[in-house]
Structure 1
Amino acid sequence: MVQKDRLIEEFMELVRVDSETKHEEEIAVVLKEKFGALGLTVEEDDTKEKTGHGAGNLICTLPAKGKGANAPKLMFTCHMDTVTPGKGIQPQLGEDGYIRSDGTTILGSDDKAGIAALLEGIRVLQEQGTEHPQLQCVITVGEESGLNGSRAMDPKWLDADYGYALDSNGAIGGIAVAAPSQQKVFITFTGKSAHAGVNPEDGISAINIASRAVSKMRLGRIDKETTANIGSFYGGVTGATNIVVDKVVLEAEARSLDTDKLGKQVESMRLASEEAAAELGGTCEFRSHLLYPSFKFTDEAPVVQLAKKALARIGAEPKTFHSGGGSDANVFNGHGVPTVNLSVGYENIHTKTERILASDIVRLTQAFVALVEETGSLSK
C-alpha cells in the first residue's frame, strides 16, 4: 500500500533540491543514493560532456522478480531538471490538499512528482513482495532546455519492451498517445547597409526582406496535425535608426504528427524566404534540423492497453489524447521503445502558481504499481 506521508515527505525533499536545467549535479547525487538504496543498479551515462549540463542521465535498473522475468520489460522515464525560478523552493501543503511553493519560485512538480511516484512505487512493490518484470527508470537531464539529455543519450542504454513517461499535463488518467516532431529553423537575411537619411536608395533593408518573407508564410495552426511559428526576429542596432539594416535573423519552428506534412511546411518556409530575398535584391541562408521525431499510437496498441487497464484498476478514467508538445517520450520512441506519456496532475507548471494535489501524487504512484502488476500478469 502507498504510504502517503512517506511519499509526500519525499516529494517535498526532492523539490527542495535545486536543479534548474543545466545545474542538475546536486539532484543527480541525491537520486543515485535513493535508487541505489532500493536495490537498483544505477549508472550515469557520458552525456554530461556533450550537453554541458550538470550531470548525465541516470539509468536505474531493477531486475525482474519471480515469474515477472517472463513478462515484457518496462521503462519509466522522468526528468530531474526544472525551469527557473527554481532555487530555494519552499513547498507547502495547504488545507485544500494542494502543494504549492511560497510564491517566489516554481514548485517543481514537473517532474519531481513523477520521480517521487517511482521511488514510492518501487518500495510498495518490494514491501508487497510483488513478482514483476525488469524495471528500468531513466531519469534525464535537460528536458526543459530542449530534451537535451535524452537526445544526447546512446540508445544502447535502453532495455525495454514498453515505455511510460510520467511527465504530461492533465488529470490522472490521461495518456498522451501522440506528440509531434519538431523542426528548428534558422533564417538569415542579408541586404546592404546605407545611411537612412542621406542615401537610403543605395541600401537594401534586410528587415523589409524578412518582413516580406514572413508575410508569405503560413504560420500558426496549419491543420489539426501541423503548426509553425516565428519565435524571434532580430537585427540592427538599438537606437540606430539612421542605418539601413543589412542583416536580420529569424528563429522559427514547425511541428507535425505527420512527417510528410512537416517536410512540406518547412519547404514552404524556405521558398517564401528565398522568394522574398530575390524580389528585393538580397540573399537568404536557410538552415533547419529535426529536433526530435513524432510518435502516434492507436488506442489498441499494447503500450496503450496496458496503461488503460492499470488506470481503470485505480479508479481513474483512462483518456487518450494528442499532445502538441514534445517530451522525452518522443526521443525514446525514436530509439525504438514504444513509449506514451502519462498525465501527472500538476497545474500551472512553469509558473510561480504551480500546484499539485497531494492525492494526485498518491494516485500516480498507484498507477505505477498497477501498471507493473498488469504487465507482470502477462508472464508466460
Structure 2
Amino acid sequence: MRVAARILPAGSALGLLARRVSNVKQPATTSTAAPLPDEQATRLLMQLLAIPGPSGGERKVVEFLRQQLGKAGVSSSELKTDDAQRRSALGGEVGNLVLRLPGTVRGPRRMLSAHLDTVPICVGTKPVKRGQRIEAADPQAGLGGDDRAGVAVLLSTALSILRNKLPHPPLTFLWTVQEEAGLHGARNVRLSALGKPQLAFNWDGNLANRLTIGATGGYRMQIQIRGIASHAGGHPEKGVSAIVIASLATADLVEHGWHGLIEKGRQRGTSNIGVIAGGVATNVVSDLVNIKAEARSHDPAFRKRIVREIERAYRRAVKKVRSSDRRRGEVDIQGHLDYESFLLSKDDPSVLAAAAAVEAAGSDVDFAIANGGLDANWLTAHGIPTVTLGCGQNEIHTAAEWLDLEEFHRARRIALHLATTTSNAK
C-alpha cells in the first residue's frame, strides 16, 4: 500500500464518480456474532507476518490460508486461485486466492479483500509482541503488517463464520497478489470468479474507523535520454552528455513548479523523478540515461497536463545541449496509466454499510481520500465500488513499522459485522 490519507469533514460534498448499487439498502439488523478470540487471531497474525511473500512470491502465504481454511471445512470447489499472475507484467508464482461462500440468509453478495504481498524490507521478518504492539525483532527489517494484518482480518472473519456456523449473506473473500508492485492482482483479477458482489470492503491501512472512499490516479513514465559519448579529457566538446540533459530537464520542472507537490490555482497533483541511472566512467561523456518518473492527481485531466509538462521539459532540454559539430541527443518517453482515480459518494451502499459497522463497533466514522494507489482503485474501475478500512498498520514500508493490536482487533469486529449483518435488500 502507498497511502497518504486526507481526512474529510463529515459534511463534505463528494460527487465525483459517485457509485451506487441498485436495490441495495443500508443494513437493517445488527450482527451479534462473536469474533475469533483475540489470542487466537493474534497467533494467526504472527504466523502470517513470519511467512515470506514479496510481490510475485506469495505462494507460501496462499498455502497457509488453504491449510487454515481447509481445517475449517472449506472445500476445494469453494477456494480457488485465478490466473492473474499470467496476465501480470510481473509474472509471479500464484494468482489471487478467492473463497466464495453461498449465503445462509438472503442479501446482496459482499466481498472482503486484502493483499498478500509485502515490500522487500519485510521478507524474512520475525515478529515479536510487546504489549499491544507487534514489531520486527530485527531493527533493520520491516514488519509486513501492510498487508498481513488485512490478510489476518479476512482469515479471522472466515474462520469465525465457518467454525461457529454463523448466518451470513453470500460472501466472497479475495486475497490479492502483487499490490505493492503496481496493483497487478486487482488489475488482473478474474471477475467471473468473484460472484458479482454488490458491496465490497478492503482492509489496508491504519485506523479501523477510517473509511477511505477515494484515491488518486497514477501515471508511470520511462524516459530514455541518448547522448553522444566522447573522451571527457581529450575531446569533451565532441560529446553530448545525457546526464546534463537530464539535469536541465529536472531543474526546469522544479523551477516552473511541475515537480513534487504541484499547485496550479485550484488544481493539485504530484510528480517525482524517482530513479536515474546512467554513466560508465568519469572520463566518458555519458551517452545514456534511463529515468523512471510518475505523475499523480485526483483530477485525470490535470494529471495528463503534468505528464505533458514533464515531456516538454525533457524535449526542451535536448535542444539546449549540442556538440561542437552541432549534433544533439535524443529522448524517448514511454508511459502508462498505473491506476485511475476514484471517489465514492457517502450514500454509496458500501460506504453506508461500512459506516454502520464502524458505529456498531462504538467508533465515530472518519472519511479519507488517499494520495496513493489501492486495490480499491482497480476494483472500483472493474465496477465493484470498494471502501478501504484500516487494520492497525503504522510506519509502513520502513524498519520502524509496527502494528497496533487494539486497532487490528477492532478491524476484525467491524469485518465480522459486515460479513454477518443482514440487509433489507430483496
Deviations 1:212-269 (A, max 9, x none): 21222211111364111000122111xx222221222211000111111111111111
**1:356 is the counterpart of 2:399:** no
Q: Which residue of 2 aligns with 1:261?
A: 302
Q: Which residue of 2 aligns with 1:99?
A: 134
Q: Which residue of 2 aligns with 1:58?
A: 97
Matches within 5 A, 1:355-374: 355-374=402-421
TM-score for both structures, normalised by structure 1: 0.91
**1:271 is the counterpart of 2:312:** yes
Contact 1:103 1:353 in 2 (8 A): no
Contact 1:79 1:140 in 2 (8 A): yes
Structure 2 distance, partners of 1:208, 1:89, is 41
Deviation of 1:181 after TM superposition, in Å, equals: 1.3
Deviation of 1:16 after TM superposition, in Å, equals: 2.3
Contact 1:35 1:60 in 2 (8 A): no
**1:221 is the counterpart of 2:221:** no
User: Which letter maps to 1:23?
Assistant: G
Structure 1 distance, partners of 2:291, 2:85, is 29
Structure 2 distance, partners of 1:358, 1:212, is 49
Q: Which residue of 1 aligns with 2:346?
A: 299
Matches within 5 A, 1:28-177: 28-38=62-72, 39=74, 41-50=78-87, 51-67=90-106, 71-95=107-131, 97-104=132-139, 105-126=141-162, 129-158=165-194, 159-168=196-205, 170-177=206-213
User: Which letter maps to 2:415?
Assistant: F
User: Which letter maps to 1:345?
Assistant: G
Matches within 5 A, 1:230-379: 230-237=273-280, 240-280=281-321, 281-374=328-421, 376-379=422-425
Structure 1, unmatched stretches of 5+, are none
Deviation of 1:197 after TM superposition, in Å, equals: 2.1
Deviation of 1:161 after TM superposition, in Å, equals: 1.1
Structure 2 distance, partners of 1:330, 1:338, is 9
**1:203 is the counterpart of 2:243:** no
> SS of the counterpart of 1:320?
strand
Deviation of 1:138 after TM superposition, in Å, equals: 1.0
> SS of the counterpart of 1:85?
helix
Deviations 1:332-357 (A, max 9, x none): 11111001211112112223332223
Deviation of 1:128 after TM superposition, in Å, equals: 5.7
**1:15 is the counterpart of 2:49:** yes
Q: 1:272 to 1:243 in 2, by over 3 A?
A: same
Aligned residue-pair number:
372
Q: CA RMSD in A?
A: 2.0
User: Which letter maps to 1:26?
Assistant: K
Deviation of 1:11 after TM superposition, in Å, equals: 1.2
Contact 1:254 1:266 in 2 (8 A): yes
Deviation of 1:99 after TM superposition, in Å, equals: 1.8
> SS of the counterpart of 1:185?
strand
Contact 1:197 1:242 in 2 (8 A): yes
Contact 2:394 2:404 in 1 (8 A): no
Structure 1 distance, partners of 2:146, 2:134, is 13
User: Which letter maps to 1:251?
Assistant: K
Structure 1 distance, partners of 2:340, 2:71, is 35
The structure with more helix, counted as a fraction of residues: 1
**Which structure would you say has the larger RCO, counting Cα contacts within 8 Å and 6 or more residues apart?**
2
Q: 1:284 to 1:124 in 2, by over 3 A?
A: same
Contact 2:392 2:405 in 1 (8 A): no
Deviation of 1:130 after TM superposition, in Å, equals: 4.0
Structure 2 distance, partners of 1:277, 1:88, is 45
Q: 1:123 to 1:379 in 2, by over 3 A?
A: farther
TM-score for both structures, normalised by structure 2: 0.82
Q: Judge which range, 332-341 or 270-279, deviates more.
A: 270-279
User: Which letter maps to 2:143?
Assistant: L
Deviations 1:161-215 (A, max 9, x none): 12211012x3220111111111111111122122222222222221222222122
> SS of the counterpart of 1:93?
strand
**1:5 is the counterpart of 2:39:** yes
User: Which letter maps to 2:187?
Assistant: R
Structure 2, unmatched stretches of 5+, are 1-33, 322-327
